[in-house]
A and B are shown apart, each in its own frame.
Chain A
Amino acid sequence: AQTVTQSQPEMSVQEAETVTLSCTYDTSESDYYLFWYKQPPSRQMILVIRQEAYKQQNATENRFSVNFQKAAKSFSLKISDSQLGDAAMYFCAYRSARTSGSRLTFGEGTQLTVNP
């Protein structure tokens, strides 16, 4: 079974600064996808960024980028120019590349606080 670990229960960052959230995972599969989801206090989970394991290039979405290290099974999220609206719980998630009914396996989450 796959597991996802987020070792930072809480992180804080100053507005406009950069912060990196850590995530490691364990799997015996070679083909899979990794995601970062954001969950604001309203609780609606929103996809931030995704990475296909077969791609060596790290994914980037505006101020959000990842550092994907497949051999180390590490998948960190970097938020640049942090904004107050970035404050939320962030979840790292794994999904098998098999086609049918592939569930998301989530980490425990990292609560991000953005200080003005």
Chain B
Amino acid sequence: GAGVSQSPRYKVAKRGQDVALRCDPISGHVSLFWYQQALGQGPEFLTYFQNEAQLDKSGLPSDRFFAERPEGSVSTLKIQRTQQEDSAVYLCASSFWDNPLETQYFGPGTRLLVL
């Protein structure tokens, strides 16, 4: 596709519900990152995939957060038993290769509101 897409764009969940956020990276991009952006803050790293392998999940805030990329393309970030503090924008980014100079292309984000 032309860019990174994310769905849904907006999600309202009741506390305790499970949610799944989808990221479609640019076709052929090897690297995929998830970031969490709280209101008025800069994005913070959650997890990183190289193809289907999750190589770094050190940023996931709790074991309620789970991410997968089973076929090395689309990725899903799942949050179980959502809490109010999970309210944030979740950004996905992809890059062609696993090289720190490669540009990370960001999606528009999913805004999650937990009531």
B26: min CB distance to chain A, Å:
13
Contact B48 A44 (CB under 8 A): no
Selected from A47, A96, A109, the residue in CB contact (under 8 A) with B41 is A109
The answer to whether A99 and B100 have CB atoms under 8 Å apart is yes
Interface membership of B44, Cβ < 8 A: yes
Minimum CB–CB distance from B32 to chain A (whole Å) comes to 10
With A100-B50, A101-B55 known to touch, is A44 a contact of B101 (CB < 8 Å)?
no
User: Contacting A44 at CB < 8 Å: which of B50, B56, B100, B106?
Assistant: B106
* Interface status of B66 (Cβ within 8 A of chain A): no
Q: Contact at B42–A108, with CB atoms within 8 Å?
A: yes
Contact B101 A33 (CB under 8 A): yes
Interface size class on chain B is: 20 to 34
At the interface, yes or no: B25 with Cβ under 8 Å from chain A? no
- A62 interface residue (CB < 8 Å to B): no
Contacts of A46 in B (CB 8 A): 106
Give Cα A95 to B98, complex, Å: 12
Q: CB-CB < 8 A to A100: which residues of B?
A: 50, 55, 98
B101 near A101 with CB under 8 A, answer no
Task: Judge if A73 is at the interface, Cβ distance under 8 Å.
Answer: no
User: Is A15 part of the contact surface with B, judged by Cβ < 8 Å?
Assistant: no
Q: Find the A residue at minimum CB distance from B91.
A: A45
Per-residue contact bits, chain B 74-115, to A (CB 8 Å; 1 contact, 0 not): 000000000000000101010000111101101111010000
Contact with A along B36-61 (1 / 0, CB 8 A): 00001111110010100001100100
B65 at the interface (CB under 8 A from A): no
The 5 closest A-B pairs by CB, nearest first: A106-B42, A45-B106, A102-B100, A103-B45, A101-B48
Given contacts A44-B108, A100-B50, A108-B42, 10 further A-B contacts (CB under 8 A): A37-B106, A45-B106, A52-B101, A100-B55, A101-B31, A101-B55, A104-B33, A104-B35, A104-B45, A108-B40
